[in-house]
């Protein structure tokens, strides 16, 4: 039977590291602050904002919720973001999705300062992710890699097959896995004979959102199976993988819930800390330029 990769255990280790990083910053007089921008009253977003507030405060991070009415114009939202970009005490900005339909998501994401973009969605960060530069990376693909790394699973030389090429998980994961020296194959709805490809994976990652998509006959015996999918079935959270049957074939597997999803919030807060260091570097760079 497969080793169960326990997301909660890995999260506890990451949280400890985060606490140390925050303590070190506080000693130097910096108290990290996260600003969350919520447009409208989408119930899932309101619930997630409340959850974030609790997690942030437990970690010693100041939390600010900026809630705008659902009919706020795109210009108004962008001006609000500009204020947060210019506020030195705010170190990270998170835009809650979905935005109301009259607001262009891409333009709003591009309005966030790349060094405060804790979601790692800004084209500046996406570009550096592809070219291998220093940047803020999206939390969910980071979670997929961290849960393996912290469980002693190396990617170098392995064939990773990723099912899903979405902007938040599958696509950024391609470049992050390449940076870890995996050989990567990406599958999507137009892929012919998905099972033929998944059976070749040493590491199979599913990032689709279709319960039961990955069945036991699609998995090579001993492979590592990472399930990033999230769906709700009869009020229960479930992943893409037929966990009960696949765990009899795989060498290691992440459960849902309790796997990849457990790590994402703490990794987003680690992005906040990384952003603080990048903002400090940018300030030093600007000061040096002003002296020349």
Residues annotated within a binding site for NADP(+):
164-166, 230
Asked whether the beta carbons of 26 and 19 are under 8 A apart, the reply is no
Residue 28's H or E segment, with its range, is none
Asked whether the beta carbons of 31 and 56 are under 8 A apart, the reply is no
67 vs 191 by CB, closer to ligand NAP? 191
- What are 233's two structure tokens? 């079935």
182 vs 268 by CB, closer to ligand NAP? 268
Asked whether the beta carbons of 216 and 248 are under 8 A apart, the reply is yes
203-206 vs 236-238, strand pairing mode: unpaired
11 vs 264 by CB, closer to ligand NAP? 264
Binding characters for ligand NAP, 160-199, by CB under 6 A (x = yes) = ---xxxxxxxx----------------xxxxx--x-----
Q: Which of 32, 120, 141, 261 binds ligand NAP (CB under 6 A)?
A: 261
Q: Which of 56, 198, 264, 271 binds ligand NAP (CB under 6 A)?
A: 264
Task: Collect all residues with Cβ–Cβ distance below 8 Å to 70 and sequence separation of at least 6.
Answer: 39, 40, 41, 100
Please report where in the chains the tokens 């609000």 appear, as a residue: 80
Q: Which of 7, 211, 229, 275 binds ligand NAP (CB under 6 A)?
A: 229
21 vs 198 by CB, closer to ligand NAP? 198
Q: Cβ of residue 206: shortest distance to ligand NAP, in angstroms?
A: 8
159-163 vs 33-39, strand pairing mode: unpaired
Rounded CA separation 35/93 (Å): 5
Judged by CB under 6 A, which stretch of 38-46, 105-113, 228-236, 273-281 contacts ligand NAP? Answer: 228-236
Residues near ligand NAP (CB under 6 A): 140, 163-170, 187-191, 194, 207-210, 213, 228-230, 260-261, 264
């Amino acid at each position: 039977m497969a080793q169960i990769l326990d997301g909660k255990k890995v999260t506890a280790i990451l949280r400890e590291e985060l606490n140390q990083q925050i303590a070190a910053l506080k000693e130097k007089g910096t108290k990290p602050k996260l600003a969350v921008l919520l447009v409208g009253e989408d119930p899932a977003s309101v619930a997630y904002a409340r959850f974030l507030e609790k997690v942030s405060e437990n970690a010693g991070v100041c939390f600010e919720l900026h809630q705008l009415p659902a009919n706020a114009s795109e210009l108004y939202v962008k001006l609000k973001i500009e204020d947060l970009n210019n506020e030195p005490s705010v170190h990270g900005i998170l835009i809650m999705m979905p935005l109301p339909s009259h607001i262009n998501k891409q333009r709003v994401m591009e309005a966030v300062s790349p060094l405060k973009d804790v979601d790692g969605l800004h084209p500046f960060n996406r570009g550096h992710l592809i070219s291998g530069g220093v940047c803020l990376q999206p939390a969910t693909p980071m979670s997929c890699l961290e849960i393996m790394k912290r469980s002693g699973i190396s990617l170098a030389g392995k064939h990773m097959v990723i099912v899903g090429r979405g902007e938040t998980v599958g696509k950024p994961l391609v470049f992050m896995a390449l940076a870890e020296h995996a050989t990567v194959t990406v599958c999507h709805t137009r892929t012919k004979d998905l099972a033929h490809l998944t059976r070749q994976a040493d590491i199979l990652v599913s990032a689709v959102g279709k319960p039961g998509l990955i069945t036991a006959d699609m998995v090579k015996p001993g492979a590592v199976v990472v399930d990033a999918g999230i769906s709700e079935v009869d009020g229960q959270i479930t992943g893409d993988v037929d966990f009960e049957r696949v765990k009899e074939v795989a060498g290691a597997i992440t459960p849902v819930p309790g796997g990849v999803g457990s790590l994402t919030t703490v990794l987003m807060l680690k992005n906040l800390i990384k952003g603080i260091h990048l903002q400090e570097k940018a300030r030093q760079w600007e000061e040096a330029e002003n002296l020349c």
